[in-house]
Structure 1
């Protein structure tokens, strides 16, 4: 085995580090176009409801530390791990540069999103691969891990645990971040989400239609159509038709407690459910679960071995 380390860039969406960073962060998301005062106020209001900023930065650090510890236990001294973010420093390119400066001969990319979409995960890998090429080192991306047995087992346990707190006639709705319809033509994202939801539902003995379904959430505020139905519409519909006394949301597409979970579900969706008169809960999300992060470490080790032959 070579003494040259293998680099691992763990890629995340990014989040503002402080309230002062919200506007430049939002501007970066909008590709350099500053948000309107109304858009900025709306986003800041959501962060204020969570204490000023998202918990994503801390959750991501915890996940990376857990992955680093697992890799060190499996292959001492073999891997050097760092973060690269899409919309906040350190950016993806910064992460790859850090690994190159550390002497990495090859970089494995892991995105903290289980399901592949060219619009999201694909763009992360493209940026990392380009940065690695510029530094003269190889890059291999892990495109998906929604089918990792440990992750599906985690989701299944989370669903069972949460159902115990809700009425017997409760429907489980699996959600993920909506994307614009224009980018989903031919994209595997919807099919992968369906496959993982179905696997968890079947393993948990949930009945199709009456027992579970899929929905979308956190669509962007743009004029173009985004994939639906939106979870807020589903909550209102279930309550209005009386087909369920409770709704359990399993945000399978999210792996940390952050804005889309802690605000869009815990605050906004909960409020809609309260107003509609239907019981509501959501399952816990991955965060730094040791079992799943150890399984992802195994995936990194196997990917590195296939790419480098060592």
Structure 2
């Protein structure tokens, strides 16, 4: 029988996305508030959403992930454990969800982010939003504590499902292109400075790129075993949104596809290992723009599936829930990890993945607690 004590609920915390055309600009304003992004840039990004009817695919994908998590929790004897869903940038907002959880009796909540890696935008910003939500609720006389599972970029389930996606995409290429096809792993670009500040400062920064390179090598190793040959691979980036004067991680996936074609690579498998599901950066930046680039230059192209709500990935997330619960009870559970980096820290250090724009309260698992009532 599984045991989630001392947690009263599990929260799936995601980015959020618009549900229709009227939501798009308000959503983008939420995402970019305080960053001084020009209106014209927001309008450009809005076109990505409007290309798909103004609805982000992330919401339905989160609902499917929730359904599969519920099934897995129930199968392990945790049918009574509430499973919540909250977003950072659109309804259901995390503050509202935690308020409702408190009203239902929850006092200690375990969070699963729909983001697997370390950086400000993929971890600390989530924690800052949790910190702000807890502070708001404390002002209302509602007191909660929130922990999170460790980063799962190198959990064996995440690596294995991604490897199966790569192997499956390879079979989609025309047969003449398969033998020399290259795997292009893709993740969201971030400013160089954000990567430099990612992870605990004591570890030297650069955790975002280091983690992606580690899991890419592991996924390529596993996919090579499935394919029966060693697969060559690279790491590229998509979705840059900063000004030209600001250095961001490169190469851009479109530029990289052109370079591979010029070098005579006969085909590519694009594998979005930086993303948990097929949200906008996958559906537009890869399935639309990168595919169009490949078509223009005559480069055979296949896109690997994300882990989504795959049953093995879902089981891995629930394993991590049980692992974190055991740690909260003072136990020392096994922490399986693929690749070379080992399991990530359970509790983020206070200065981990620094916010380079401001220092805001962040719920890290142990270093933020709303003050107890007098």
- When the two structures are superposed, what TM-score results if normalisation uses the length of structure 1? 0.91
Number of residue equivalences: 308
* Cα drift, residue 290 of structure 1: 1.6
Whether contact under 8 Å (2:190, 2:249) holds in the other structure is yes
Residue of structure 2 equivalent to 1:238: 260
How far, CA to CA, are the matches of 2:260 and 2:147 in structure 1? 44
> Unpaired runs of 5+ in structure 1?
none
* Cα drift, residue 37 of structure 1: 5.4
Residue of structure 1 equivalent to 2:221: 202
How far, CA to CA, are the matches of 1:58 and 1:288 in structure 2? 11
Residue of structure 2 equivalent to 1:183: 194
In structure 2, do the counterparts of structure 1 residues 129 and 5 end up closer, same or farther at CA, with 3 Å as the change threshold?
Answer: same
Whether contact under 8 Å (1:109, 1:125) holds in the other structure is no
Residue of structure 2 equivalent to 1:81: 83
How far, CA to CA, are the matches of 1:2 and 1:287 in structure 2? 23
* Cα drift, residue 102 of structure 1: 1.8
Q: Pairwise CA RMSD of aligned residues?
A: 2.4
The partner residue of 1:146 within 153, 163, 180 is: 153
Whether contact under 8 Å (1:158, 1:283) holds in the other structure is yes
Q: State the Cα deviation string for residues 200-233 of structure 1 (Å, max 9, x = none).
A: 112233888x711111111114342211111111
**Secondary structure of 1:252's match?**
coil
How far, CA to CA, are the matches of 2:172 and 2:317 in structure 1? 30
How far, CA to CA, are the matches of 1:149 and 1:117 in structure 2? 21
* Cα drift, residue 237 of structure 1: 0.6
Q: State the Cα deviation string for residues 66-120 of structure 1 (Å, max 9, x = none).
A: 1122122223344211112121122222232222222123111110112222332
1:1-310 pair list within 5 angstroms: 6-31=8-33, 38-129=40-131, 131-132=133-134, 134=138, 135-166=142-173, 167=177, 168-185=179-196, 186-205=205-224, 211-223=232-244, 224-242=246-264, 244-308=265-329
Question: More displaced, 217-226 or 269-278?
Answer: 217-226
Whether contact under 8 Å (2:107, 2:144) holds in the other structure is yes
Q: Runs of 4 or more off by more than 6 Å in structure 1?
A: 1-4
Whether contact under 8 Å (1:3, 1:78) holds in the other structure is no
In structure 2, do the counterparts of structure 1 residues 142 and 100 end up closer, same or farther at CA, with 3 Å as the change threshold?
Answer: same
* Cα drift, residue 40 of structure 1: 4.1
In structure 2, do the counterparts of structure 1 residues 230 and 75 end up closer, same or farther at CA, with 3 Å as the change threshold?
Answer: same
How far, CA to CA, are the matches of 2:275 and 2:321 in structure 1? 20
Question: More displaced, 97-106 or 278-287?
Answer: 97-106
- When the two structures are superposed, what TM-score results if normalisation uses the length of structure 2? 0.76
Whether contact under 8 Å (1:96, 1:128) holds in the other structure is no
In structure 2, do the counterparts of structure 1 residues 293 and 183 end up closer, same or farther at CA, with 3 Å as the change threshold?
Answer: same
Whether contact under 8 Å (2:21, 2:53) holds in the other structure is no
